[in-house]
Structure 1
């Protein structure tokens, strides 16, 4: 008999009500604390800035939930942590490096302490990054890699691994034979190349042979691009029963092409959006890799706090790892398919609240 049951004869109903209320409150507080901790999904402890500092960010575009998730993660984590987000800029498209050069220079002129860059191209940024560093700024890389040894730290993902995850989904499919049409994505984007090569390398390891129909890099990453290229590939290669795209918008365009041609085929892609859920559930999309942009944004702020205060940056892979010349952390990726897409916590990992607005965008 425990102490509570032993004391029941001597306790009033009011006492028991108060006790039960306190237990309930304690449980609620514990759940609240756990939810607070969960925003960083256990990767690093959350810190608040000892002294406020200014952070600015420039990303490639805001056409999908990936970059919106990064910006939301940065903005929300900054608000929680005492960091001032002074500017959010958008290059507009892959290849718009001049626009990003101007946006990075603008961050210097408004006195930002940390510049966060999701580059519109892999190469060409080292001189401007070096210039920012010489002015006393710290520069971080987010989402996709950049070819520079002057980056202080990066929060990225292993794009080769993402390609391998997509190939593994095809390998595990019971569908035979396996004939994959490849829509590589835009030219000049390193993440596109890495996913493409990762997919092809892993496909060669499949127990069942995988036939790959290749196409050239180029074009954009919109729905029409995916629709047009998938339609053309399927018309010229009637044996195709899988389509690879490196990014979800292209993937949804490919699904439209499959429907228009009344084909029995499925798509593998990356960067999950809620519009893709029914496509996964009805089998038009075999699998989509989750790219947790919100977590990336939160981690950028947490690492920026540590960098500004001269504290250790835990869990970073050293420079030279993954072919990058700066220390970085690769967020974990998860494959979403029919078995788990209905229960995936989008709001934690990649999709900003519907009512949220991008702050101070230029």
Structure 2
């Protein structure tokens, strides 16, 4: 059953009858954009998201991530598992080990479904590579929620994700404003992430479009896994090839890795750093003046919404078919006003793989 605004608003009214003290501790209502269809280019409506108060039973939800090697996916894990606890459902979280491990992700999800999962939430390694699997799962009348990364399957039940094209564009717009057409030229090395991942291709397109016509020149584009070691190697290679570089722009892991590398080479004043999504390391870099800016897609909230979508579908309740938090660009100037709880897991949080 697809969402209807009137029913969702009625649900919001019910949720708002909770005590003020209890509501103050919750993550909602949260400002989101709701797409009319699964397509990223469909019309959108802004509204506040209100989840269910509780699930009617302890549904078993399978959650699959590409990896848990960086704090970005740790934030998604925190959002998913905390919302599962709040709603009173079970969650079984698996991670494939990296963006090269598509077959592992597929087999892990198949095992989850065989074990009796009522719904599946997927942070996809590949934009197209899981489509057959999604079709098989949906043929068993099991809902599939696309979280964070994006998939091209037309059989998905719902999406909890933003446009990574717009994330890339936000980073590009920041640079283009610093280096407009006719202004001071800037040589940029661009690190969009692992080739073939849907979010990476979208981010790359958005970034390229945003800097078009500006004085920003991309001298090299380096694709690679979002592990710290892989990104560090790409950065080192790039610095050797382009000693006159002005910016390193790319994934949050790229930005985190760049800070100590530039410091060790004495290049901190010459080469600036921008990320196109957000992690604790990026937050620290911005607060310390080591990273200029990064957009946040409210990672924790995307994980929470995916769980709520799954439960709503399982219980035959109205749901938003495609929803994502409003984007915000965090800079050194506005950092003090940024609320990290929407995006970052708490300090000391360790991966949670099971909620019973």
TM-score by length of 1: 0.80
CA contact (8 A) 1:347 1:353 kept: no
Q: Distance in 2 between matches of 1:137 and 1:55?
A: 10
Aligned residue number for residue 257 of structure 1 = 261
**Which of the residues 330, 339, 348 maps onto 1:354?**
348
Structure 2 contact 188–246 (Cα < 8 Å) conserved: yes
The DSSP-based 3-state class of the residue aligned with 1:215 is strand
User: Based on CA coordinates, which of the two structures has the bigger radius of gyration?
Assistant: 1
Q: Is residue 337 from structure 1 mapped to residue 341 from structure 2 by the alignment?
A: no
Task: Return the alpha-carbon distance in structure 2 between the equivalents of residues 356 and 93 of structure 1.
Answer: 18
List aligned pairs for 1:273-352, cutoff 5 A: 273-314=279-320, 316=321, 328-352=322-346
Correspondence for 2:136: 131
Q: Is residue 2:35 matched to residue 1:45? A: no
SS at match of 1:234: helix
Residues 37 and 157 (structure 1 numbering): CA distance in 2 closer, same or farther, change over 3 Å? closer
1:30 aligns with 2:20: yes
Worse-matched range after superposition: 146-155 or 328-337: 328-337
The match for 1:66 among 65, 72, 83 is 72
Change (3 A) 1:348 1:151: same
Tell me the CA shift for residue 205 of structure 1: 4.2
Tell me the equivalent position of 1:155.
160
What number of residue pairs does the alignment pair up?
316
How far apart are the structure 1 equivalents of 2:173 and 2:228? 25
Aligned counterparts of 1:60 and 1:200: Cα–Cα separation in 2: 25
1:295 deviates by 0.2
CA contact (8 A) 2:77 2:351 kept: no
| 1:270-317 deviation per Cα after TM superposition (whole angstroms, max 9, x unaligned) | 332333334224443111222322101110121112211222223x4x
Q: Distance in 1 between matches of 2:284 and 2:50?
A: 36
Q: CA deviation at 1:153?
A: 0.6
Relative contact order higher in (CA < 8 Å, ≥ 6 apart): 2
Are residue 57 (structure 1) and residue 58 (structure 2) matched? no
Contact in 1 for aligned 2:62/2:113 (Cα 8 Å) = no
Asked whether the equivalents of residues 265 and 284 of structure 1 are also in contact (C-alpha less than 8 Å), the reply is no
Superposition deviation, residue 143 in structure 1: 1.0
Structure 2 segments unaligned to the other structure (5+ residues)? 1-18, 32-46
Which of 194, 202, 211 aligns to 1:186? It is: 194
> Is the counterpart of residue 176 in structure 1 residue 184 in structure 2?
yes
Q: Structure 1: any 5+ residue segments left out of the alignment?
A: 1-28, 317-327
Provide the residue aligned with 1:266 in structure 2: 272
Q: TM-score, normalised by structure 2?
A: 0.81
Report which of the two has the higher share of strand: 2
Q: Is the 8 A contact 2:120 2:145 kept in 1?
A: yes
CA distance in 2, matches of 1:349, 1:252: 16
Pair 1:257–1:97, CA change in 2 (3 A): same
Higher helix share: 1
For the 8 Å contact 1:223–1:250, the answer to whether it is kept is yes
Indicate which of 134, 143, 149 corresponds to 1:144. 149
- Specify the SS of the correspondent of 1:140: strand
Shift of 1:353: 5.0
Q: Which moved more, 1:186-195 or 1:282-291?
A: 282-291
Conserved 8 A contact 1:59-1:90: yes
The CA distance in 1 between the partners of 2:232 and 2:129, in whole Å, is 31
Task: Give the secondary-structure state (helix, strand or coil) at the position aligned to 2:144.
Answer: strand
- CA deviation map 1:56-80 (0-9, x unaligned): 1110111112212212212111211
The CA RMSD measured in Å over matched residues stands at 2.3
Question: Does structure 2 retain, via aligned residues, the 8 Å contact 1:56–1:115?
Answer: yes
The 5 A counterparts of 1:237-248 are 237-245=242-250, 247-248=251-252
Partners of 1:349 and 1:278 in 2: CA distance: 13
Structure 1 residue runs of 4 or more that deviate by more than 6 Å after TM superposition:
none
Q: SS where residue 286 of structure 2 aligns?
A: helix
The question of whether the paired residues in 1 share the 8 Å contact of 2:274 and 2:293 is answered with yes
